[in-house]
Amino acid sequence: MASIFSFLSTISLLLMFVFFLSLSLADSSPIFNTPETLCDSTPYPPFCKSSLPYNKPGTVQDYARISIANSLTNARDFLSLVQHYSSLPSTSHESTNILALEDCQFLAQLNIDSFSYALQTVNRSNDANLPGSLAVDLLTLFSATLTNLETCLESLQVSDSSILNNLTAPLSNGTQYCSTTLALFCHAWVPHPEKGRLLAEGKDIFPSMKNGARKSFRLRTYESIMGRKLLQGFEDGVSVRQMVVVNQNGTGDFANITDAVNAASNNTASSDGYFVIYVVAGVYNEYVFIPKNKKYLMMIGDGINQTIITGNRSVVDGWTTFNSFTFAVVGQGFVAVNITFQNTAGAIKHQAVAVRNGADLSTFYNCSFEGYQDTLYTHSLRQFYRDCEIYGTIDYIFGNAAVVLQNCKIYSRVPLDDQYNAVTAQDRTDPNQNTGTSIQNCSILASAELAASNGTTKSYLGRPWKEYSRTVVMQSFIDSLIDPSGWSPWSGDFALATLYYAEFNNTGPGSDTSNRVTWDGYHLINATDAANFTVSNFTQGDIWLPATGVPYFGGLL
Catalytically active residues are 395
Please give the DSSP secondary-structure letter assigned to residue 373: B
Q: CB–CB of 338/359 below 8 Å? A: no
Using left for φ > 0, alpha for ψ between -120 and 50, and beta otherwise, residue 102 falls in alpha
Other C-beta atoms within 10 Å of 303: how many? 18
Task: Tell me the CA distances in angstroms from 493 to 123, 424, 463, one per residue in order.
Answer: 43, 18, 11
Closest CA to 533 of 396, 394, 368, 382: 382
Adjacency order of strands within the sheet including 307-311? 282-285, 307-311, 340-343, 368-370, 389-392, 409-412, 443-446, 477-478
For residue 79, the number of C-alpha atoms closer than 13 Å in the C-beta half-sphere is 16
- Cα(201)–Cα(25) distance, rounded to whole angstroms? 25
Q: What DSSP string describes 185-220? A: HHHHH-S-GGGS---S----SSTT--HHHHHHHHHH
- Cα(385)–Cα(395) distance, rounded to whole angstroms? 17
Residue type, 182: L
Residue type, 301: G
Range 249-267 burial, b when 16+ CB lie within 10 A, else e = eeebebebbeebbeebeee
- Cα(433)–Cα(401) distance, rounded to whole angstroms? 10
Residue type, 545: L
> By three-state DSSP, how is residue 380 classified?
coil
- Cα(388)–Cα(406) distance, rounded to whole angstroms? 8
Q: Are strands 394-399 and 297-300 parallel, antiparallel or unpaired?
A: unpaired
Dihedral sign for Cα atoms in the order 300, 304, 305, 309: positive
Residue type, 495: A
As a whole number of Å, the end-to-end CA separation of the chain is 66
Q: What DSSP string describes 45-75? A: HHHHHHHS-TT--B-HHHHHHHHHHHHHHHH
